[in-house]
Amino acid sequence: MWRVAIPSYNRVKELGEKTLLTLEHHKVPKNLIDIFVANQEQYELYINEYPDYNIVIAVIGMKDVRNFIFQEHYKEGDWIVSMDDDIEKIRMKNPRGWEDSSYCDDELDLMTEINLAFSECMKSKRSLWGLYPVDNHYFMKNQISYDYKFCGGWMWGVINKKELTKLDISDGCMEDYERCIKHYLQEGGMVRLNYICCKTKYGNAKGGMGIIDNRDRVGFMKELEERYPNLFYLKQKKDGLNPILKDKRN
């Protein structure tokens, strides 16, 4: 059975009001959820608020906590669902093509969809799965894809391969791009449920494991572009650089 891994730092109330409430709404059992905190002080804050959950003392910093979770805490081959601590809602596109495009969140059976994602990984010989990266049902499609696509870091799953889940470059931002690149290089793609997305204030909420990161996001993007020039590039837009995953070798 899979487990849910949630790294969290200084978001005690927000965690309960968002991600944990979302999981409770979808009837995900508490005994499947692991909450990773930075130190003993944080542990006391979280365990007092959530005594029914498994709280694990990890490390601070997004890169370090991700590596702790996947390199040290879980074993090779474990099935893990990684979630941010500020997910307000998990949304599903209406599958009825004869109706106007809309969401049908009340019809989403999250446990079934997670099981499906892992099953599709096994069948397609991939180990990474993710969701549609934009909260917009007009762009979403009622299909599963298996090629080289971006799987955002707010919610994703993996059959743990430590070689591929280890972060080398990213620290608090761009780690989802690095993860996608590594899995694509070895497995040729990833499973993405293009009819499900998350509603979250990604990158804007207070607190979080990444708050101590002080390197510029552009710096991480340029590092990725330098290391993987044929798989990742930056497109200049009016509001800044837009990271793109594309295999230029094909």
CB count, 10 Å around CB of 127?
A: 22
Per-residue pLDDT, averaged over 207-216, amounts to 50
The tens digit of pLDDT for each residue in 94-110 reads: 999 999 999 999 999 99
Higher-confidence residue: 30 or 213? Answer: 30
Q: What is the pLDDT of residue 169?
A: 84
CA 42 to the chain's CA centroid: 22
Answer yes or no: is 12 within a domain. yes
Answer yes or no: is 159 within a domain. yes
Sign of CA dihedral 132, 21, 13, 160: negative
For 113, counting Cβ atoms within 10 Å of its Cβ (0-12 exposed, 13-18 middle, 19+ buried), the class is: middle
Mean pLDDT, rounded, of the chain: 92
Label residue 214 by pLDDT band (50, 70, 90).
very low
What 3-state class would DSSP assign to 242? strand
Whether residue 123 has pLDDT greater than 80: yes
Whether residue 205 has pLDDT greater than 50: no
Per-residue pLDDT, averaged over 72-101, amounts to 97
Answer yes or no: is 250 within a domain. no
Label residue 208 by pLDDT band (50, 70, 90).
low
Answer yes or no: is 153 within a domain. yes
Q: What is the pLDDT of residue 204?
A: 45
Q: Evaluate whether 28 touches 110 at the Cβ level (below 8 Å).
A: yes
As a whole number of angstroms, the distance between CA 190 and CA 180 comes to 8
Q: What is the pTM of this model?
A: 0.93
The tens digit of pLDDT for each residue in 29-76 reads: 999 999 999 999 999 999 999 999 999 999 998 899 999 999 999 999
Q: Number of structural domains, the chain?
A: 1
Query: Which structural domain range is residue 194 located in?
Result: 3-245
Per-residue pLDDT, averaged over 161-187, amounts to 91
What letter does residue 58 receive in the DSSP assignment? -
What 3-state class would DSSP assign to 67? helix
CATH number at residue 24: 3.90.550.10
Whether residue 215 has pLDDT greater than 70: no
